[in-house]
Chain A
Amino acid sequence: MAKRAQRLLGIVPSDSPGVIGYTLYWDKSKGDSGSDTVLNNDESQGAVSPHVDLGLPTTTRDVEVDGTTKTVLVVDLGTIPELATLEGEYDFGSAAYDGVNESHITEAEDIDIDFTPPNAPGKVFILSTP
């Protein structure tokens, strides 16, 4: 069995009361060659970006954000089947929901994703015996 890299995202929780979960959105990053990807969760604005329901992540970690320590919700991208085949730079975003409404998406751009392990070596030989 191959080892897969661990790629963690931290989500700074919404300040709104009544949030019961978060949705993770992603799309292939345009990088420097084009305009920034704008992740979309509004059908009236066009195709909704690929997404997965995270529920309410229970793992938290304190991280430094803009000089202040914040407690973030930790998402291990490697455990999300929908992301298993991604490779390259992606934009990720998250939106909070409360059972009725979903917020705008907060984005993080150009995150390198590589969950594809290299091919296994060919045959293993014993070159010599004592």
Chain B
Amino acid sequence: MRGAVLFLSLCAATAGFAAAGMKWFEAYTFAGGSSNEIMLAWEVNETDGPPADFYEVVAAWFERPSLSRRYAFQADEVARNGNTVTAFMKMPGTGHFSFQVRSCLRPPAPDPPACSAWANSLDPTVSRVAGVLRAWWVYGYLEPPGGVIPIPASPGPTH
């Protein structure tokens, strides 16, 4: 479909996530706390058709597939630089997540949207790590308590 997503990346500007360098299913793993926000980027192809009305993003949860999260970003609400679109989202949980993005056109109701094929971060032909074609996913780890603190006894001995 016209307006299809060409490349999908996790931006270097994403805060709190570091390249863990682990390989599993030949996918590069970014690891960070599961309360962090990530910035996803994708490139769109609009050379031979109208731009997308909106983009669908799926965070596919490896450990809990049934709880995978779906997002919709309106084309006029996402940041755009040339053909590169960026969007922020909170990690939906703790565990491994791959991401899928597709472009969609919104035809007059009641027709369903017409969408491109999915670009999947686990597909090394459309995914990039630091500009290099490579599959990737994100591991959000459960963050430990922020501290354990002795509290002065109050009001005193108890029975």
Contact = CB atoms under 8 A, between A and B. Distances in A.
Interface of A: 1, 3-19, 22, 61, 63, 65, 70, 72, 74, 78, 92-98, 100-108, 111
B79 to A, nearest CB: 25
A72 B33 contact: no
B157 A4 contact: yes
B144 A106 contact: yes
B63 A12 contact: no
Q: Which bucket holds chain B's interface residue count? A: 20 to 34
Nearest to B150: A111
B60 to A, nearest CB: 16
A26 to B, nearest CB: 10
Given A7-B150, A14-B145, 19 more contacts: A4-B159, A9-B148, A9-B150, A10-B147, A10-B149, A12-B146, A12-B148, A14-B143, A15-B146, A16-B34, A16-B140, A74-B151, A94-B145, A100-B94, A101-B141, A102-B142, A103-B143, A108-B148, A108-B150
A78 B148 CA distance: 16
Contacts of A13: 145-146
25 contacts: A6-B154, A6-B157, A6-B158, A8-B153, A8-B154, A10-B149, A10-B150, A11-B145, A11-B148, A12-B145, A12-B146, A14-B143, A16-B94, A18-B34, A18-B93, A22-B145, A72-B151, A94-B145, A94-B148, A96-B143, A96-B144, A100-B63, A100-B95, A106-B146, A108-B147
A11 B94 CA distance: 20
Q: B141, B142, B151, B153: which has the most chain A beta carbons within 10 Å?
A: B142
A51 to B, nearest CB: 13
Interface in B9-25: none
A67 B152 CA distance: 17
Interface of B: 33-35, 63-64, 90, 93-95, 140-154, 156-159
Contacts of B93: 17-18, 98
The 10 closest A-B pairs by CB, nearest first: A12-B146, A8-B151, A108-B148, A15-B35, A103-B144, A12-B147, A103-B142, A10-B149, A3-B157, A16-B143
A101 B35 contact: no
Contacts of A74: 151
A101 B148 CA distance: 20
A14 B141 CA distance: 11
A74 B154 CA distance: 12
Given A1-B159, A15-B35, A16-B35, A105 B144 contact: yes
